[in-house]
């Protein structure tokens, strides 16, 4: 039997507002427990929530960026459940009338373009956090996170593999950062994912029963958890069993998913409109105002990079994967005033190689865009060869300093003086009569030997093109 996987993601993006969604308490990460929870976040009697306009602005910005409908009227609802870190006994969320509906996002997987539907995106508040590690026989409650604004972004069940799910999540991650509505910090939980997974026999139109894997906070875990879940469900079905609808947790240490609660034990949230909050009305004027603040979006930037810089699909995709990367590249091109493809290569291959080796993001690069540009300029004007440039780049990375200083100090300037190169070639030919005879007898491969000798003699500094040309002439 051939199986098809169906996946829908619910992604929680923490909105980058300074204060909470219904109170003025700060949202900064990492403060002492319970120092950033005010009476409203604690759910004390008699308090009233007041909606944060910035959170609404960010939700609208997101909706516009995915071509969605912005609801003129949406409603906040109470989602009721009991949990120690939820002092009110309910979470304020949106249910049947979300602020954003029917958007889409295009992704690229193995060179294939796919469009993924986004059912809706709604505003809600986060809960607090239960702490188990520092307390023996107790559970600590930290309510700093309670009331932090979240945008829950729910996809259609349009994804067909773990790979597609990761591509979608990465694209969304890049988008919220482009829009500056979420810092995207996955370690701090600012961007996390619940993955709904089911399988069905290939060709069947009806969906299989889904399991929901909660709270995945890295791309790698999403991929592993989904693949694990697919295998688990197929095994059950092939053994004649039935998948049950349930919530599961992914254990990254054991690389397995475990049942958290089944449908029978599932929460009955008894949603109802929150009587403390008026329906959220959004005017077309507000929408226009937000529209005017939209930056150039990733897909548009990618297409512009292709047209303006003559980059390939792949290069344009990689260089626009994040706003920071795109800005870095454009600064290099501008400052180097040189070949955009050469610049792309030095950013994507050479610099990215060093970043990956040290596990750094482009924003933490030890060489800034202007520094890299000055190196590229020296390749373009033939002061140094590409090979020597790699050596200079490593020195810049490890020891700091400018390209020009390093080239000067280490005497790396390319030898372009024809006379000087010729005299080196003469010496090498004189010292290797046997090889010369063999070459002249037709052993063409020996050309490389002479190039190698000349490069060795000049410590790699002979201009490669000139050297080749002169060698060919002299060896004839």
Ligand X SMILES: Nc1ncnc2c1ncn2[C@@H]1O[C@H](COP(=O)(O)OP(=O)(O)OP(=O)(O)O)[C@@H](O)[C@H]1O
In angstroms, the Cα distances linking 37 to 33, 47, 281 are 9, 13, 28
207 binds, among Mg ion, ligand X, none (CB under 5 to 8 A by kind): ligand X
According to DSSP H, which parts of 239-292 are helical?
A: 284-291
157 binds, among Mg ion, ligand X, none (CB under 5 to 8 A by kind): ligand X
Stretch that binds Mg ion, among 64-72, 105-113, 189-197, 311-319 (CB under 5 A): 189-197
98 binds, among ligand X, Mg ion, none (CB under 5 to 8 A by kind): none
Q: How far is the CB of 37 from ligand X (least distance, A)?
A: 24
In angstroms, the Cα distances linking 219 to 227, 230, 289, 356, 359 are 12, 17, 34, 16, 15
Stretch that binds Mg ion, among 179-187, 194-202, 237-245, 356-364 (CB under 5 A): 194-202
**Which residues are CB-neighbours of 417 under 8 A, at least 6 positions away?**
none
Would you say 219 or 447 has its CB closer to ligand X? 219
Q: How far is the CB of 165 from Mg ion (least distance, A)?
A: 14
Rounded CA-CA distance 50/43 in Å is 13
67-96 positions binding Mg ion, by CB under 5 A: none
The binder of Mg ion chosen from 4, 7, 8, 10 (CB under 5 A): 10
On the 0-12 / 13-18 / 19+ scale of CB atoms within 10 A, 46 is: exposed
Task: Give the side-chain half-sphere CA count within 13 A for 60.
Answer: 25
Rounded CA-CA distance 425/476 in Å is 13
Whose CB is nearest to ligand X?
8
Stretch that binds Mg ion, among 3-11, 23-31, 442-450, 464-472 (CB under 5 A): 3-11
Strand 3-14: give its sheet, edge to edge.
69-70, 100-109, 112-125, 149-155, 3-14, 191-201, 211-216, 246-251, 256-262
Q: How far is the CB of 197 from ligand X (least distance, A)?
A: 6
Would you say 245 or 345 has its CB closer to ligand X? 245
Would you say 36 or 119 has its CB closer to ligand X? 119
Q: How far is the CB of 177 from ligand X (least distance, A)?
A: 22
324 binds, among Mg ion, ligand X, none (CB under 5 to 8 A by kind): none
Rounded CA-CA distance 285/429 in Å is 80
Would you say 101 or 333 has its CB closer to ligand X? 101
Rounded CA-CA distance 453/449 in Å is 6
Contact positions toward ligand X, by CB under 6 A? 6-10, 154-157, 196-198, 207-208, 210, 212
Would you say 104 or 214 has its CB closer to Mg ion? 214
Q: How far is the CB of 356 from ligand X (least distance, A)?
A: 32
155 binds, among ligand X, Mg ion, none (CB under 5 to 8 A by kind): ligand X
210 binds, among Mg ion, ligand X, none (CB under 5 to 8 A by kind): ligand X
Closest CA to 149 of 57, 72, 63: 57
Closest CA to 100 of 123, 126, 77: 123
Tokens for 194? 């619940």
Q: Per rule CB under 5 A, is residue 156 in the interface with Mg ion?
A: no
Catalog residues that contact Mg ion under the rule CB under 5 A.
10, 194
């Amino acid at each position: 039997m051939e199986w098809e996987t169906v996946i829908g993601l619910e992604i929680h993006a923490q909105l980058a507002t300074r204060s909470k969604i219904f109170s003025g308490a700060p949202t900064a990460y990492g403060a002492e427990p319970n120092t950033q929870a005010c009476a409203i976040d604690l759910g004390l009697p008699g308090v009233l929530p007041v909606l944060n306009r910035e959170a609404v602005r960010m939700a609208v910005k997101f909706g516009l960026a995915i071509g969605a409908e912005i609801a003129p009227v949406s409603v906040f609802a109470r989602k009721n459940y009991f949990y120690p870190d939820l002092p009110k006994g309910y979470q304020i969320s949106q249910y049947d009338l979300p602020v954003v509906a029917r958007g889409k996002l295009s992704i690229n997987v193995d060179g294939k373009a796919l469009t993924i539907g986004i059912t809706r995106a709604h505003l809600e508040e986060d809960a607090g956090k239960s702490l188990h590690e520092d307390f023996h026989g107790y559970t600590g409650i930290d309510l700093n996170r309670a009331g932090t604004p979240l945008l829950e972004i729910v996809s259609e069940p349009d994804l067909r593999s773990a790979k597609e799910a990761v591509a979608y999540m990465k694209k969304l991650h890049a988008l919220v950062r482009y829009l500056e509505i979420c810092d995207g910090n996955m370690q701090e939980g600012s961007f996390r994912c619940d993955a709904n997974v089911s399988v069905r026999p290939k060709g069947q139109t009806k969906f299989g029963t889904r399991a929901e894997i909660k709270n995945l906070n890295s791309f790698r875990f999403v991929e592993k958890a989904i693949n694990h879940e697919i295998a688990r469900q197929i095994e059950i079905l092939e053994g004649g069993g039935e998948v049950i609808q349930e919530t599961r947790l992914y254990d990254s240490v054991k690389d397995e998913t475990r049942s958290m609660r089944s449908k029978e034990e599932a929460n009955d949230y008894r949603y109802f409109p929150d009587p403390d909050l008026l329906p959220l009305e959004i005017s077309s004027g507000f929408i226009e105002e937000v529209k005017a603040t939209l930056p150039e979006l990733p897909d548009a930037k990618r297409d512009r990079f292709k047209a303006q810089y003559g980059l390939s699909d792949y290069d344009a995709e990689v260089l626009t994967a994040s706003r920071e990367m795109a800005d870095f590249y454009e600064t290099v091109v501008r400052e180097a005033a040189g070949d955009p493809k050469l610049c792309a290569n030095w950013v994507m291959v050479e610099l990215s190689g060093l970043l990956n080796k040290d596990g750094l993001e482009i924003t933490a690069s030890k060489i800034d865009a202007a520094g890299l540009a000055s190196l590229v300029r020296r390749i373009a004007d033939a002061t140094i060869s590409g090979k020597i440039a790699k050596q200079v780049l490593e020195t810049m990375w490890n020891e700091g300093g400018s390209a020009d200083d390093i080239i000067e100090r280490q005497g790396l300037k390319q030898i372009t003086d024809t006379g000087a190169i010729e005299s080196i070639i003469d010496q090498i030919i004189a010292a290797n009569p046997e090889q010369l005879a063999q070459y002249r007898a037709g052993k063409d491969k020996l050309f490389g030997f002479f190039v190698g000798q000349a490069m060795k003699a000049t410590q790699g500094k002979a201009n490669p093109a000139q050297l080749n040309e002169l060698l060919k002439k002299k060896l004839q």
